[in-house]
Amino acid sequence: MQGFSYPLSPKGIANLASAPPWHYAGTSINIEFFADPAAAAACLPEGLTLEPDAPGSGAAAFFDWQYSGDHKEYLDPAHACYQEFFVLINARWGNEKVAFCPYIYVDNDAALARGWIQGFPKKIGTIHQTRAFSLPDSSATPVVGTGGEFAVSASSRVGYRIVNGRITLEKKVEDPSALIGRPVVNMRYFPRLTVGQYENPVVHELVLANMLDMQATDVWAGTGELEFPVAVGEELADLNLQRVGRGVRMNLGYTVTEVKTLVDYTA
Amino acid sequence: MQGFSYPLSPKGIANLASAPPWHYAGTSINIEFFADPAAAAACLPEGLTLEPDAPGSGAAAFFDWQYSGDHKEYLDPAHACYQEFFVLINARWGNEKVAFCPYIYVDNDAALARGWIQGFPKKIGTIHQTRAFSLPDSSATPVVGTGGEFAVSASSRVGYRIVNGRITLEKKVEDPSALIGRPVVNMRYFPRLTVGQYENPVVHELVLANMLDMQATDVWAGTGELEFPVAVGEELADLNLQRVGRGVRMNLGYTVTEVKTLVDYTA
Amino acid sequence: MQGFSYPLSPKGIANLASAPPWHYAGTSINIEFFADPAAAAACLPEGLTLEPDAPGSGAAAFFDWQYSGDHKEYLDPAHACYQEFFVLINARWGNEKVAFCPYIYVDNDAALARGWIQGFPKKIGTIHQTRAFSLPDSSATPVVGTGGEFAVSASSRVGYRIVNGRITLEKKVEDPSALIGRPVVNMRYFPRLTVGQYENPVVHELVLANMLDMQATDVWAGTGELEFPVAVGEELADLNLQRVGRGVRMNLGYTVTEVKTLVDYTA
Amino acid sequence: MQGFSYPLSPKGIANLASAPPWHYAGTSINIEFFADPAAAAACLPEGLTLEPDAPGSGAAAFFDWQYSGDHKEYLDPAHACYQEFFVLINARWGNEKVAFCPYIYVDNDAALARGWIQGFPKKIGTIHQTRAFSLPDSSATPVVGTGGEFAVSASSRVGYRIVNGRITLEKKVEDPSALIGRPVVNMRYFPRLTVGQYENPVVHELVLANMLDMQATDVWAGTGELEFPVAVGEELADLNLQRVGRGVRMNLGYTVTEVKTLVDYTA
């Protein structure tokens, strides 16, 4: 039986996630927020602490993604294309500035599988973002330029709206390095299904995402709006946003081949 | 009760399709085909005849659409964004070169409603196309340029794959007027629900689509591949493709406010 | 070209809705409500008036449906099975007690097509109801009996929860005739797509649903709970529920072959 | 952070799968098949061998499920209700008769999560089965009795039909113990995301499913029909069915609290 992830199979082509490299290209809309610091801290795993310089700060990130392996897998767009929404909480790993992802939603099971393997705790949802087309005369598209407005939204699989947001572009950012964000720390986690051991997972480790060959283009920054409506089965609204900051839109590409283990709690 | 389409309501905001103008912006992938002429002719309604210069010719068109009214409705992307696949058969209305749409699929009920009102016989399906991102270093996106490869696919709501296609771009087209296609003739049709009158519809008219302010950008042409797999509940495969022609990719925008009635069969 | 509804096709098998008879079998959960009378009246079309004996009364109905034609079409369950939620407002057509359906949601495009043809203004949504299985020892199913609790919910296609409800069964109803509900009056409506004529539809008629061979079994009545959360693009919450009444669960079957036109507003 | 599975959260209510017990109630349609023995053997993991008495034998199982925890979670039907299709291959674990599940599809992410934790390699798909309603006069439902016909189907998330089946009931089975099937052995598997270690998973164990308080009611057996169409990204068709056997329909309930580890390949 062959394959990298479920389901293994004789030919190794049925698996949701084949072995890396995993190449990603997409358009991102990112909205900075400042949550209630205690609520944000409650979302961090053991080993991470709240960012001391801006406690409660974080971001809601929306991605219109296209995945590929090394063999033009983007030519299977029903598999390759998906939308994603996730929350990042700014944190520290020792002295290192990082961000942690407590909540993330995708509309594609292969993306869910790759996510879990990286430590992204993905659920299925429906996610949308306003798109831009190079059609100067059209009333159906914003411009990627000053004054361009873009909206984002996501709903849980069971049908609750969980986030609404909007950005208005102000200026192009020539050096996006400050905007691409902190290194992401995730928690890889796989439960044990043994009576009395439900809180003793088989896999429980903090890992650092390693995003190779990162490239950002067409980076624009402006203002942001964001809300997390109350939704049954979700805890996003508990972040209790105090303030919303910058909105950013860009194209982003990178490659994933591995994660770096920071700590293995099962050891 | 207010509204343009179902459901009318006190405030007029529940309707699937509000009154025009309907602005559209999107990315299109279009693959020319040559079907069995008899099979293509069997898809034409009374009043249209097969294109004599290329009998059986037509196109499979895929659109990644964004809809808007006059008030930035693209800021509700869960409503505004959708994917579409349709078939066009080249035909003549008298001497006029037109194209007729026998089959069309969308993943959005508001788009279905606007479609029916225009005479597009839409069903719900899942549709995808490879996307391009301006990320020169990424392995997850084709280039919009020579050699760029894009794939398309669609499946019926009940879960049969109904089309697979691919294009390879060869050269940019400076004057896209020849590629934008013929005027589209649709059949508006609404059945009568009366015993003995099932074949006597209330609405039955041929109409000419009127696409205002059409704009095409980033037009590239190349080669195409296309197949219509056999699927229960569908008749696409019966088109019995003999040959596949050109593949084209472009951004396309236009506005719809009305259709022009060519003939009213109920009169 | 053959078929009863969109899309007509050479063989007549591609159409969403083939010609009647349309047989339905399903399980219904029905929750009586008393809305703000003015809000309920605002949902009624010209020709109907609010029920004078209980102004604002109505029901939220949830159906787990199976459709068939005369040829065991239930053997295509991806086509035949669907879930539905709709609202009925008690009204009068002259002196006749009827109910009008302003809002209705299904998860199946064929059901949407049959609905529009009958005058049900269907949108696509996701709808669920608790199910019962004959497994006396199971903790995963309520009993169809005293104390059995069943919940219902629906969300709009764009991802807002639009209704939550619950019933608790109290007693079996031997004569369900009083519970099956009033005759349903619908509005068949198809817009004109002509500038200046947007409010002058081609089809605009009040019709009486004719449900043949109606059969109800396993009818249980009890108490009900119901809420219509606020949702963008919907007006259910505007019904402003004052009180919730009886909850009923039953199996229901009937056949549709036609509607009876009460008034044609285009004549 | 609390919870049993992804995502852990401050209150522990966001997780897809909360800690067991997991109670299940549903209606099952099960179709026996005889695959090419070599193809069936290729689907078995190390440690299992093909059933010597009927090499290549197995079953396609379809479930209309309702999940609950101990607190009437069936009152959240959007979460609790789902459909499932899976394949079982008859095998031996030493001398013990077991069945192994190489492929399984659900339409619910919580069910996917519980599945992975048990070792069921679930992907998202769409699954349907004909349902029965106690409506003797209806043409829209089969009888649960002699001659009753039920169909099943499933499609992959990317839109390929992957299975079609049908059963015709012949006789009620008073003692269903022989039909409930063999103990199920699954492979719990979670990959390592480290370059050079892609084939060295963190979790890799054979486990025996422990289905507690199993109850079967309304068990009927008859004949079956089954096909696995060719589908991109799937390997079901490679099972190369030689013959189809019995069809069975029943209600089934059981509870899961743990799995029993047979062998841990990482030890």
Nearest-neighbour CA in chain C from D249: distance (Å): 13
pLDDT at res. A66: 98
Q: Are C160 and A161 within 8 A, CB to CB? A: yes
For the cut 80, the answer to whether the pLDDT of residue C178 exceeds it is no
How many other C-beta atoms are found inside a 10 Å radius of the C-beta of residue B151? Answer: 22
Split at pLDDT 50, 70, 90, the class of A176 is: confident
Q: What percent of chain B has pLDDT over 90?
A: 96
For the cut 80, the answer to whether the pLDDT of residue A178 exceeds it is no
Split at pLDDT 50, 70, 90, the class of B181 is: confident
With an 8 Å Cβ cutoff, the interface of chain A facing chain C consists of 126, 153-156, 158-161, 231-232
| A249 contact partners, CB below 8 Å, separation of at least 6 | A27, A28, A29, A30, A144, A148, A150, A167, A169, A218, A219, A220
Provide, as residue numbers in chain A, all residues whose Cβ is less than 8 Å from the Cβ of B75. Answer: 130, 149-151, 166
Distances (CA, A) of C71 to B230, C22, D151: 22, 11, 14
Q: Do B206 and B48 meet the contact criterion of CB atoms below 8 Å apart?
A: yes
- The stretch B216-236 carries a mean pLDDT of 98
d(CA D114, CA D186): 13
Q: Are A151 and B74 within 8 A, CB to CB? A: yes
Closest-CA residue of chain B to D125: B159
Nearest-neighbour CA in chain D from B160: distance (Å): 5
For the cut 90, the answer to whether the pLDDT of residue A179 exceeds it is no
- The stretch C187-213 carries a mean pLDDT of 97
Closest-CA residue of chain B to C264: B202
Q: Are C43 and B11 within 8 A, CB to CB? A: no
Q: Are A16 and D189 within 8 A, CB to CB? A: no
Provide, as residue numbers in chain C, all residues whose Cβ is less than 8 Å from the Cβ of B199. Answer: 4
Nearest-neighbour CA in chain B from A254: distance (Å): 7
**Subunits touching D (CB < 8 Å, at least 3 pairs)?**
A, B, C
| A108 contact partners, CB below 8 Å, separation of at least 6 | A79, A81, A82, D157
Mean pLDDT, chain B, rounded, equals: 97
Q: Classify the complex by whether its ipTM is higher than 0.95, answering yes or no.
A: yes
Q: Which of D72, D81, D140 is facing C67, going by the closest CB pair? A: D140
Closest-CA residue of chain B to C10: B42
pLDDT at res. B179: 78
Q: Are B160 and D161 within 8 A, CB to CB? A: yes
pLDDT at res. C180: 76
Sequence ranges of the domains in chain A: 22-264
**Subunits touching A (CB < 8 Å, at least 3 pairs)?**
B, C, D
For the cut 90, the answer to whether the pLDDT of residue A128 exceeds it is yes
Cα torsion A8, A9, A14, A17: sign:
positive
- The stretch B130-144 carries a mean pLDDT of 97
Mean pLDDT, chain A, rounded, equals: 97
Q: Are B128 and A78 within 8 A, CB to CB? A: yes
pLDDT at res. C175: 87
Give which of D25, D220, D206 is closest to D99, Cα–Cα. D206
- The stretch B186-195 carries a mean pLDDT of 98
pLDDT digits (tens, 9 = 90+) for B78-105: 999 999 999 999 999 999 999 999 999 9
- The stretch C49-72 carries a mean pLDDT of 98
How many other C-beta atoms are found inside a 10 Å radius of the C-beta of residue A162? Answer: 26
d(CA A12, CA A2): 4
pLDDT at res. A141: 98
Q: Which of B24, B149, B215 is facing A72, going by the closest CB pair? A: B149
Paired with D251 in beta bridges are D27, D217
Split at pLDDT 50, 70, 90, the class of A175 is: confident
- Element (H or E) spanning D110, and its range? helix D109-118
pLDDT at res. D175: 87
Provide, as residue numbers in chain B, all residues whose Cβ is less than 8 Å from the Cβ of D156. Answer: 159
Superfamily of domain B22-264: Acetoacetate decarboxylase-like (2.40.400.10)
Which residue did the predictor score with more confidence, B267 or B212?
B212
Closest-CA residue of chain A to D5: A191
B171: burial class by Cβ within 10 Å (0-12, 13-18, 19+)? Answer: exposed
Give which of D15, D20, D168, D171 is closest to D79, Cα–Cα. D15
Q: Do A235 and D10 meet the contact criterion of CB atoms below 8 Å apart?
A: yes
Split at pLDDT 50, 70, 90, the class of A238 is: very high
pLDDT digits (tens, 9 = 90+) for C97-133: 999 999 999 999 999 999 999 999 999 999 999 999 9
Q: Are D153 and B161 within 8 A, CB to CB? A: no
**Subunits touching C (CB < 8 Å, at least 3 pairs)?**
A, B, D
Give which of B187, B263, B239, B252 is closest to B33, Cα–Cα. B239
Distances (CA, A) of B92 to A167, B50, B51, B84, B243: 47, 6, 6, 25, 21
Q: What is the DSSP letter of B2?
A: B
d(CA B264, CA C36): 44
Q: Are C43 and B9 within 8 A, CB to CB? A: yes
Distances (CA, A) of B196 to B72, B106, B200, C17, D75: 46, 32, 9, 16, 45
Distances (CA, A) of A121 to A105, A116, A127, D6: 8, 6, 16, 5
Split at pLDDT 50, 70, 90, the class of C60 is: very high
- The stretch A11-38 carries a mean pLDDT of 98
- Element (H or E) spanning D26, and its range? strand D22-35
Provide, as residue numbers in chain B, all residues whose Cβ is less than 8 Å from the Cβ of C74. Answer: none
Query: HSE-up of D67 (CA within 13 Å, CB side)?
Result: 26
Query: HSE-up of D22 (CA within 13 Å, CB side)?
Result: 28
pLDDT digits (tens, 9 = 90+) for C32-48: 999 999 999 999 999 99
pLDDT at res. C34: 98
- The stretch C11-18 carries a mean pLDDT of 98
User: Which stretches in chain D have pLDDT values below 70?
Assistant: none
Q: Which of C136, C149, C217 is facing D75, going by the closest CB pair? A: C149
d(CA D61, CA D103): 11
d(CA C111, CA C123): 10
pLDDT at res. D180: 76
Closest-CA residue of chain B to A152: B77
